[in-house]
Amino acid sequence: MLSWLLGLVAGTAAAAALYGPHLPTGGYRRALVALRAVAVALIVALLLDAPLGARVAPRPLTALDVSASWGQGGAGRFAEAVTRARRAAGDVVLFGDSLRVGPPPSVPSDAQTHVGPAVDRASALGRPLRVITDGQLADPEALASLPAGSTVEVLPAPLAVDVAVQSLDLPPSAAPGDTIDLRALVVSAGTAVPAVTMAARLADGTVLATAPLGALAPWSEREWRARVRVPERRGALVVQVAATAAGDAQARNDTVTTVLDLRGGPSAVFVSTAPDEDARYALALMRGALAFGVKGYLRVAPGQWREDGTLSRVDEGAVREALARAPLAVLHGDTSLFGTPRAIGRGALALVPAPDADAGEYFTETAGASPLAPALAGVPWDSLPPVLVGPAPVGTNWTALGARRARRFDERTVVAGYDAPRRVAVLPVRGLWRWQFRGGRSADAFAALWGGVFDWLAEGGVEERAVLVSSPWVREGDPITWRRGATADSAVVVRLRRDGARGETVDTLRYSDAAGVATSPPLPAGIWRASVQGGDVAFAVNASSEWLPRRPIVSRGAVPGVGAAGARPSVRDQWWWFALALALLCAEWWMRRRIGLR
């Protein structure tokens, strides 16, 4: 009311100052005074945005979930949700993978369900929010910030038999003839599944492995493991892992497709001319540390080679060829068997020459500054078993770990290396297996040492392609993550095309961080091939995670409390108040002209 009082005072003062006692008396004078007073009072009210009444409660904002997870229960649930949203008194917004305004779609298709933006918008406007969803939200914690007076309406899917493959773990690359491990996580919906059968096959129907998984309880999960042999082929191999069960209500979540990159040879090679416990433990850790195929070759007698795992005979020429072609190789034992060690191949190399049996025992000391320092930090070197250490390597430019005899004399190098023109690590040591065998913190030290070496070597492996995908399979709605390959450019052009589709998509990846990781927008489901400098990269985009059976994590409820009071209506909200002020001033001017005033 203060703004109206100020306007009344200003109008009265303006009329009194302009129309003094010298003007004619009577009704004409009183009309001029009234017009001036009312016009000035209204102008001041407009300047101060004077209220016209009491505050009114804000209308609620309705947020409708338009994610693809509605499809798990048929079209009827989403039709009911749309009907409820249209009956709402307030505005309606749509949420899923984004927040937007528009008519509800006939078929919900958003690949993600994020309610957080809708909650933030309602809070910013000071309005209660009415959420209509199927209960499967990616960020249910956002509902804790709902304004007072908000409600959540859940239309859960009816319970049905549904089994799905949620995730798949398979090496992104391998060599033809390799045997690789496959792991798939299978989940069920709210109804027990009597029997599940798993199968891994190629896109052309070739079966790689199949096995019964048994029954699944409601809302449960189970892991399926299998060892499969990689076919003798070249290029990108499309692998599908599927779960089948009688009466399965949803087929879109039964299969996960990935791409296995066959580069014509193993991605890493471990060659031992004198197999021992050191070679055994190091090879096992190498397979666990690297995310690609590892091939092991063991010389059991002069001229006789066996393949690790199967113990099948291997020709020495094949071992030599594998060493030459591998982007990462480890040569253990007699490192000069195939000639000058550093002339073997052109990929990253680890040399583990065996010291003499009478080399003496050495105790490791604190690690020095080197590329392996982050991996070796915090290792209790003074509590580890002693090892045998040979003479120091020649030509290295950094030392990662040293050792002393009897902790006092005769210092020697345990791990050293150099970076250019390629990465080479040298470990003239034997007896590291004692660390792994003891277990506990000693085993952790073994894993830190060898894991650091393998990770550092893998970063310097030979790769001709400019970029690579971080994962050979993703889901709809997830961005595609790329890691740097054979280029140091900060921007890389990628041409994407989907199998069976016409045309291509051109995207520019920009690497702005030291980690060498870039992302591109999500893509529709299918097998995608990216043309980059140095070759092609293939990956699979699977159906959205919205199709996976998930227990509803949100229930129907209301936020207690009274919603925030809305804004009062004011004179600026209606245009005709401006027109009235202008009309009053015009009327006063016309009456002044009639009596000769300007």
Residue-wise pLDDT tens digits, 253-288: 999 999 998 865 567 899 999 999 999 999 988 887
| Whether residue 329 is found in the same domain as residue 425 | yes
What is the Cα–Cα distance from 179 to 580, expressed in whole angstroms?
Answer: 87
Taking only the tens place, the pLDDT of each residue in 37-89 is 888 878 887 887 777 765 556 788 999 999 998 888 666 889 999 999 988 87
| Whether residue 291 is found in the same domain as residue 377 | yes
pLDDT of 460 higher than 80 = no
> So what's the pLDDT on residue 168?
95
Place of tokens 């303006």: 14
* 193 or 556, higher pLDDT: 193
Reported confidence tier of residue 158, pLDDT bands at 50, 70, 90: confident
Percent of the chain with pLDDT over 70: 91
| Whether residue 102 is found in the same domain as residue 154 | yes
Percent of the chain with pLDDT over 90: 35
Is 190 part of a structural domain of the chain? yes
Q: Average pLDDT of 200-219?
A: 93
| Whether residue 310 is found in the same domain as residue 446 | yes
pLDDT of 22 higher than 60 = no
Residues contacting residue 449 through CB under 8 Å, at least 6 positions apart: 372, 375, 376, 379, 401, 415, 432, 435
What is the Cα–Cα distance from 67 to 553, expressed in whole angstroms?
Answer: 15
> So what's the pLDDT on residue 17?
74
Instruction: Say how many residues make up the chain.
Output: 598
Is 217 part of a structural domain of the chain? yes
| Whether residue 148 is found in the same domain as residue 295 | no
Residues contacting residue 235 through CB under 8 Å, at least 6 positions apart: 262
Q: Amino acid letter at 475?
A: R
Within 10 angstroms of residue 352's Cβ, the number of other Cβ atoms is 23
| Whether residue 233 is found in the same domain as residue 143 | no
| Whether residue 328 is found in the same domain as residue 418 | yes
The mean of the pLDDT values for the chain is 85
Tell me the residue range of the domain where 448 lies: 268-459
Is 508 part of a structural domain of the chain? yes
Q: Average pLDDT of 98-109?
A: 91
pLDDT of 556 higher than 70 = no
What total of structural domains would you count in the chain? 5
Reported confidence tier of residue 244, pLDDT bands at 50, 70, 90: very high
What is the Cα–Cα distance from 243 to 195, expressed in whole angstroms?
Answer: 10
Reported confidence tier of residue 466, pLDDT bands at 50, 70, 90: confident
pLDDT of 565 higher than 60 = no
What is the Cα–Cα distance from 593 to 583, expressed in whole angstroms?
Answer: 15
Q: Average pLDDT of 14-43?
A: 73
| Whether residue 175 is found in the same domain as residue 153 | no
Pair of tokens at residue 394: 């020649």
What is the Cα–Cα distance from 584 to 31, expressed in whole angstroms?
Answer: 11
What is the Cα–Cα distance from 386 to 8, expressed in whole angstroms?
Answer: 97
What is the Cα–Cα distance from 392 to 544, expressed in whole angstroms?
Answer: 55
Q: Residue 253 maps to which CATH number?
A: 2.60.40.10
CB 61 within 8 A of CB 128: yes
CB 242 within 8 A of CB 201: yes
| Whether residue 388 is found in the same domain as residue 315 | yes
Beta bridge partners of 430: 388
Reported confidence tier of residue 161, pLDDT bands at 50, 70, 90: very high
pLDDT of 138 higher than 60 = yes
What is the Cα–Cα distance from 125 to 118, expressed in whole angstroms?
Answer: 11
What is the Cα–Cα distance from 351 to 233, expressed in whole angstroms?
Answer: 31
Following CA atoms 40, 44, 46, 52 in sequence, which dihedral angle do they give, to the nearest 10 degrees? Answer: -100
Reported confidence tier of residue 291, pLDDT bands at 50, 70, 90: low
* 469 or 40, higher pLDDT: 469
> So what's the pLDDT on residue 563?
45
Place of tokens 């471990």: 270
* 182 or 16, higher pLDDT: 182
Instruction: Encode 499-537 in three state secondary structure.
Output: CCCCCCEEEEEECCCCCCEEEECCCCCEEEEEEECCEEE
CB 208 within 8 A of CB 294: no
CA atoms within 13 A on the CB side of 368: 13
> So what's the pLDDT on residue 485?
74
Element (H, E) at 284: helix 277-289
* 498 or 35, higher pLDDT: 498
> So what's the pLDDT on residue 418?
86
* 589 or 133, higher pLDDT: 133
Domain end: 158, 183, 207, which one? 158
| Whether residue 318 is found in the same domain as residue 445 | yes
Reported confidence tier of residue 230, pLDDT bands at 50, 70, 90: confident
> So what's the pLDDT on residue 513?
63
pLDDT of 162 higher than 80 = yes
In sign, the C-alpha dihedral spanning 332, 175, 485, 183 is negative
Across 47-61, 328-342, 453-467, 517-531, the highest mean pLDDT is recorded for: 517-531
> So what's the pLDDT on residue 64?
94
Taking only the tens place, the pLDDT of each residue in 313-324 is 999 998 988 888
Closest CA to 113 of 131, 138, 135: 138
pLDDT of 582 higher than 50 = yes
pLDDT of 20 higher than 70 = no
| Whether residue 140 is found in the same domain as residue 207 | no
Taking only the tens place, the pLDDT of each residue in 113-126 is 999 999 999 988 88
Is 222 part of a structural domain of the chain? yes
Our CA angle for 112, 114, 118, nearest 5°, is 140
CB 456 within 8 A of CB 330: no
Pair of tokens at residue 517: 């990781």
**Inter-CA distances, 85 with 66, 136, 150, 156, Å:** 12, 18, 14, 16
Place of tokens 């921007």: 491
pLDDT of 96 higher than 70 = yes
Is 112 part of a structural domain of the chain? yes
Closest CA to 550 of 75, 107, 106, 112: 112
Domain end: 421, 440, 459, which one? 459
Is 548 part of a structural domain of the chain? no
30, exposed or middle or buried, with CB in 10 Å at 0-12, 13-18, 19+?
Answer: exposed
Is 163 part of a structural domain of the chain? no
Q: Average pLDDT of 227-235?
A: 84
* 64 or 10, higher pLDDT: 64
Domain end: 263, 290, 305, which one? 263
Q: Average pLDDT of 411-437?
A: 88
> So what's the pLDDT on residue 562?
44
180, exposed or middle or buried, with CB in 10 Å at 0-12, 13-18, 19+?
Answer: buried
| Whether residue 304 is found in the same domain as residue 331 | yes
Q: Give Cα 353 distance to the centre of its chain.
A: 42
Reported confidence tier of residue 24, pLDDT bands at 50, 70, 90: low
| Ranges 266-275, 301-310, 356-365, 388-397: which has the least confidence | 356-365
Is 283 part of a structural domain of the chain? yes
> So what's the pLDDT on residue 474?
95
For residue 319, report the phi and psi dihedrals to the nearest 5 degrees. -65, -45
Q: Residue 383 maps to which CATH number?
A: 3.40.50
